[in-house]
A and B are shown apart, each in its own frame.
Chain A
Amino acid sequence: MRKMAAFLLRGWLTEISYRTAFVLDLGSAVMLIATVYFLARVIGANPNNPYLSAYGGDYMAFVVVGIVFQLLVTTSLAAFSRTVRDEQIMGTLEFLFLSDTPLWRVLTYAALWDFAWTWLITAITLGVAIFAFGVRLHANFVAAGVVLALTVLALAGVGLASAGVILVTKRGDPVTWFVGIASGFLGGVMFPIEVLPGWLRTLALMFPTTHALAALRRALIAGESSSSLAPTLGLLALFCSLTIPVGAGVFYWGFRTARRAGSLSHY
């Protein structure tokens, strides 16, 4: 626990030392919601909208949940590789490895601040949407929490693989790029995937993030329970069971390759 706290404190101290960025990050969250608010006014609320009827016809709520989801997806995918890259650049990676703490724990702790910060921004985004812009959610927070937890875990496996690649390539991470784009565009963050042409919709449905986002919307907007989301939760659990071992394997491969090449501290 003390080690985890030390990493969190390090992240907090670093974050608040960039005061401008700290304020701008918060400002960006507010501005994004404001933009969506006015976009939603253009589209107008219509319960009979065939694309949005499953979500009560409220485009604002639809997109806000999409944005929150995408924030978490991006962090889950990129936190580990970004952590590795940052530590390489600062020359601290070797010193993290020199501790007696197992490597997977060091990496998880090091990425923890990214997750904590994203959760904070997520909470602020949702809070602003609800209290300042009147977004109405009929949330089942337990179900939403389960969906998010499984999504984060599943994508963290992909993120681990990406960190392993970064240890070797130092820069240029195709894994995060591809999954991030797939999730943002095909996952239906800004629009329902039903508007996509058939072949793209088929492609979109191949990505677990598409299903995860749909389930999150159903939990947060329509208040559906975990049991009614069971098929999606099962899919996410299956995805976790695949990505985490594969991600850990790729990470250790990258680590051993870098150690053999003597390039742990290179960037």
Chain B
Amino acid sequence: MRELRVTPIKNGTVIDHIPAGMALKVLKILGIGETVSSTVTVAMHVPSKAMGWKDIVKVEDRELSAKEVDKIALIAPRATVNVIRNYNVAEKHVVRMPDRAVGILRCGNPNCITNLREPVESEFFVRPGEPPRVLCKYCDRELEDIAAAIV
């Protein structure tokens, strides 16, 4: 008997190769909460040849913005984003770690000028790695918990 854990979707996005345990953070990045209008499927702790274990998130009737993809890259550097149109994979790409993270993280240093009411977007330098290291352009501090700092 065939066991179908995750059904194919007609239109939407499949985010694969998320590090095991990070799927809920991906949902947070996508703003998926109580008021979501389409079907969202989450598979956690799925066996993976490349990663050992991984998480998968499928969101129907939605394609991701560049900013959302950058946010996902910061917590899931090896994630793949598959855009599904009419049951076919229309686009498939590996997320690319941005050199700079602009307006997507809040500085963890409470004394950083960007946490005041100033008309600037936060900006961080990203050094690749797993996990990547990010440094605030303004106060020079390294962000300790990237996932918690995503806005």
Q: Do A and B come from one complex?
A: no
Chain B positions near chain A (C-beta within 8 angstroms): none
